[in-house]
């Protein structure tokens, strides 16, 4: 926290921290993996770039530089002997003002790292949410600002109350956008499509999948996707740093394809794990070894 290693039980903020009152924080979620050459952080530079982009968009000054945070991420993984891990850097307005506008409140910085296994333990039954995704008309778009995730929590809660595993959110125009914390891909006639970055976070897992799919000869591209197209897809999956690749087997109670993980999804998953675990030399440029 703010440049010092703090023991887990002492990693505290004041109850009137501005970020706690109003969600005035920006954050990243980063995955580290055990590889045969040691622990490696996947796309660390890209995640940190996005963290600074989120902070700048929010008018928040981060006290440390990107290279300093990069060093800190590696150091905290090492110190905690983490292999497969989840790293959460955050910059947040701390204690200082109870008013909504964070005038003269310093932005603190913290990085936490925890061992990580799997997020979803099963294939997903998904429901379309009644809550719309934020747009550029209601918030800054394409950034990870904590307060924006109230929208995600509402969608997730609604889905779970109705007995589903996860929500799919539409944008304000009615097009398919993304999950509450993950991007969507659909597969139709051997082609892979994902909603354009106008209505979904430009996720790094999404970007990784677009690149590796095209390299594998599978045509993968951005497209405005209507709800009916998603419902009639041959295959669908969610993807994100936390959940990696999670097959969707039904949408609003209607089976997607055969209602099981499809062949294209399987192929992409196989390649994805080769890439993140450093088994495919071609993509080792994305690994930052600890």
Applying CB under 6 A, the residues found at the interface with ligand PMP are: 29, 178, 181-183, 201, 203-206, 240-241
Give min distance, CB of 169 to ligand PMP, in A.
9
Give min distance, CB of 74 to ligand PMP, in A.
19
Q: Quick one: which of 119, 89, 157, 86 has its CA closest to 238?
A: 119
Alpha helices in 86-215 (DSSP H): 149-161, 204-215
**Residues 206, 185: Cα–Cα separation, whole Å:** 8
Give min distance, CB of 200 to ligand PMP, in A.
6
CB nearer to ligand PMP: give 26 or 105: 26
CB nearer to ligand PMP: give 195 or 257: 195
**Residues 27, 64: Cα–Cα separation, whole Å:** 14
Give the other-Cβ count within 10 Å of 50's Cβ. 22
The pair phi, psi for residue 118, each rounded to 5°, is: -115, 150
CB nearer to ligand PMP: give 105 or 288: 288
Give min distance, CB of 50 to ligand PMP, in A.
7
Residue 285 annotated to the active site: no
Catalytic-role residue among 144, 188, 267, 285: 144
CB nearer to ligand PMP: give 129 or 183: 183
Distances (CA, A) of 158 to 69, 161, 162, 166, 169: 36, 5, 6, 9, 12
Catalytic residues: 144
């Amino acid at each position: 926290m703010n440049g010092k290693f703090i023991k887990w039980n002492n990693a505290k903020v004041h109850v009137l921290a501005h970020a706690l009152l109003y969600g005035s924080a920006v954050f990243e979620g980063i995955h580290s993996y055990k590889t045969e050459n040691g622990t490696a952080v996947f796309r660390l530079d890209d995640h940190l770039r996005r963290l600074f982009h989120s902070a700048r968009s929010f008018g928040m000054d981060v006290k440390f530089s990107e290279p300093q945070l990069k060093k800190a991420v590696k150091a905290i993984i090492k110190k905690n002997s983490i292999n497969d891990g989840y790293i959460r850097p955050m910059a947040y307005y701390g204690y200082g003002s109870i008013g909504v506008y964070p005038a003269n409140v310093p932005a603190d910085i913290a990085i936490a790292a925890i061992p990580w296994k799997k997020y979803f333990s099963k294939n997903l039954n998904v429901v379309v949410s009644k809550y719309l995704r934020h747009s550029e008309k209601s918030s800054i778009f394409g950034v990870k600002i904590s307060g924006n995730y109230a929208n995600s929590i509402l969608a997730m809660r609604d889905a779970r109350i109705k007995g589903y595993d996860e929500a799919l959110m539409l944008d304000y125009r009615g097009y398919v956008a993304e999950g509450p914390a993950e991007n969507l891909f659909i597969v139709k006639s051997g082609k892979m499509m994902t909603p354009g970055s106008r209505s979904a976070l430009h996720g790094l897992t999404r970007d990784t999948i677009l690149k590796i799919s095209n390299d594998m000869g599978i045509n993968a591209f951005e497209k405005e996707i209507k709800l009916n197209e998603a419902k009639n897809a041959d295959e669908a999956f969610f993807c994100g740093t936390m959940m990696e690749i999670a097959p969707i087997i039904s949408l609003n109670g209607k089976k997607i394809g055969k209602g099981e993980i499809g062949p294209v999804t399987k192929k992409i998953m196989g390649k994805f794990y080769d890439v993140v675990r450093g088994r495919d030399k071609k993509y080792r440029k994305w690994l930052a070894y600890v």
